[in-house]
Structure 1
Amino acid sequence: MRIHHILLTTILSLFLASCASTGTPTAPPADAATTIDSYQIGVDDIVQVSVWRNPELGITVPVRPDGKITVPLVGDVDAGGRAPAEVAADIQARLAAYVRDPQVAVILTDLRSHEYLSRIRVTGAVKQPVSIPYRQGMTVLDAVLAAGGVTEFAAADRTDLYRRNDNGTTQQYPVRLDRILGNGDLTTNFPVAPGDVITVPERIL
């Protein structure tokens, strides 16, 4: 019985180790995908203000040098140095005097004030290595397609996404780009965050 128990324990351990080695790569933390929500708006950033069921109140404008934007009915609103959610809450509170139960969304469509800090870079075995502006909702696949896709020499299964953490360290996240492009498996088609670097290595011949 004891030998039988040891044998079962050994088999189970080997099985678990095998699962761990072939499992899905670790995804970036959930809050990393929403980095943009805490981004502080700067001068020249382009913001889109949308008011649910009131499209005539929506605008897409750059933030002026004084850090303000002008919103219909509300007038000037401070945007510079504030997160999009803060600006949306401010506009929503002030619109309540004119619109019943307003629902406001503020979206950054172009991060110009921190252009280089917010860019996404794709390097390695892609047809055209690029440095592109971050766009809300952008994923790994969007960035790779902007680089023209991978070359015939790419080792797409060894693609990595690199992200700088708040403490200054860089975290590496494996991306199964071969499965994304070949099988439509979007498990590792992670949302990107401002400053991310995606590297596609070449195959070892």
Structure 2
Amino acid sequence: MMNPRFKNLFGMAQRIFLLALLGLSLQNFASAQGTEPTLRSGDSIVLKLSGVPSEESALISYTYDISDQGTINLTHLGEVRAAGMRPSALQKSIENAYKSAEIYTNPTILISTSRDGGSGTQVVYVSGEVKTPGAIPMRAGMSVHDAITSASGPTDFAKMKAVKLSRGNNTRELDLRRADNPDASLPVQSGDKIHVSQ
């Protein structure tokens, strides 16, 4: 049986370790928040909603320009203050607003922003039979297949033989049944619209 005095010392050491660990976690969180830009009027943000039905996600997942009044206009919520907030704080604020209004039970908001000379974040729009449709932030070398994967992949009902890629006024049909198909590696451009039909 453990000596009661030793047991108390052991318990105290455990508590000190847990408090130190909590302190480090809070410090890391604070430093991560410190590196986030503060949003301002004129900024473009890419908002992605998940944890809701795909048709609802497609309504809200989009690129928004913060107005001169410092707000963005969201479906079901109307004007929401964005200027003066960090992206992570705005994410939580919007999630809480949707929950408080009892519109969604468990929404997850992801916001990304880019300040590359004011041109905003470059995105590709993925819609239809994908698990999280909406605006997908572009990255260097992104292909059509990568964009669909970034939208959490196709649903069980996706017709991958006839995926539509729209660029400007041109639309072409792609066969993406296999990842090694040349269509799958086709590079995307900002503003492209990819639709996966049923």
Report the TM-score, using the length of structure 2 for normalisation.
0.39
